[in-house]
Amino acid sequence: MRHVAWILSITGASLVLSGCASMKTSDTARTGVEQLLVSSAIDRSLDKVDLRPIAGAKVYLEQKYLDCVDKNYLIVAMHQRLLRNNCTIVEKAEDAQVICEVGSGGVGTDRHDLFVGVPKLSVPGMAVAIPEVKFFDRTRANGTAKILVVAYDATTKQPVLNSGTQLARSDHKTWSVLGSGHIVSGSVPKELEKATGEPESVIPIPTTMAASFSPTRK
């Protein structure tokens, strides 16, 4: 009986200390944050490409070498930057003064989770399990985009632009101590706050609610 009482006391303490773990939920195939990580990394990479050498030209954007996630956004983002440089976008290569090719060396996201605490433990021969206890947890998600843009004269085939590979990243970070609510930081939260005026944050859940609150995790 003493053994069972000890296990139950540890379980109760764990429920109070662990608070609430971070949740990844979405009503769509990909979360909004994941999509923003990718599109922000793409924007940052393309912002490093100097399109002034082909400013004002009739440009055909060759897409056959482009194969990546969110390809359509990357194409439209290229169109936007070409138009910003007073280029005319044509639909056929034969109508162009400049052929512009774009390729990706890597476009995607990755995530690193870290926590300090006690993992979930099962007691052999007993139905009681000690839940996971997180004293500190941190999640860092990155969006990465490595993009290459080259352009050449449609008639002479001579190069007029070679951006070299442009690598950029975006990030979204959260951390929490004893489940007391997550502090959010990174380039994506900053962009959201700048655009909407609302800081992105996770509202702390009181530890007294932790025992009755069981979030769905993915």
Beta strands in the chain (DSSP E): 58-62, 88-89, 98-118, 121-122, 129-130, 133-153, 159-177, 183-185
E strand or H helix at 71? helix 71-84
Is the pLDDT at 125 greater than 80, yes or no? no
Please report the sign of the dihedral spanned by the C-alpha atoms of residue 75, residue 164, residue 68, residue 62.
positive
Rounded CA-CA distance 48/62 in Å is 19
pLDDT digits (tens, 9 = 90+) for 94-103: 999 999 999 9
- pTM of the complete model beyond 0.85: no
Residue 117's pLDDT is 82
- Residues 77-87 pLDDT 10s: 999 999 999 99
pLDDT value of residue 214: 38
- pLDDT over threshold 80, residue 123: no
Q: What separation, in Å, do the N-terminal and C-terminal C-alpha atoms of the chain show?
A: 37
Query: CB neighbours (10 Å) of residue 150?
Result: 17
Is residue 201 within 8 Å of 190, Cβ to Cβ?
Answer: no
Beta bridge partners of 83: none
The answer to whether residues 150 and 163 touch, using CB atoms and an 8 Å cutoff, is yes
The alpha carbon of residue 70 and the mean position of all alpha carbons in its chain are separated, in whole angstroms, by 12
Q: Are 170 and 190 in contact (CB under 8 A)?
A: no
CA distances from 71 to 66, 77, 106 (A): 7, 10, 11
Q: What single letter denotes the amino acid at residue 135?
A: F
Q: How far is CA 95 from CA 92, 108, 158, 188, in A?
A: 5, 34, 17, 39
Domain spans of the chain, in order of start: 2-21+30-209
Q: Are 173 and 138 in contact (CB under 8 A)?
A: yes
DSSP lists the bridge partners of residue 61 as: 100
Six-digit token string for 109: 């996201």
User: Across 9-23, 114-128, 195-209, which has the greatest mean pLDDT?
Assistant: 114-128
Burial 10-29 (b: 16+ CB within 10 A, else e): beeebbebbbbbbeeeeeee
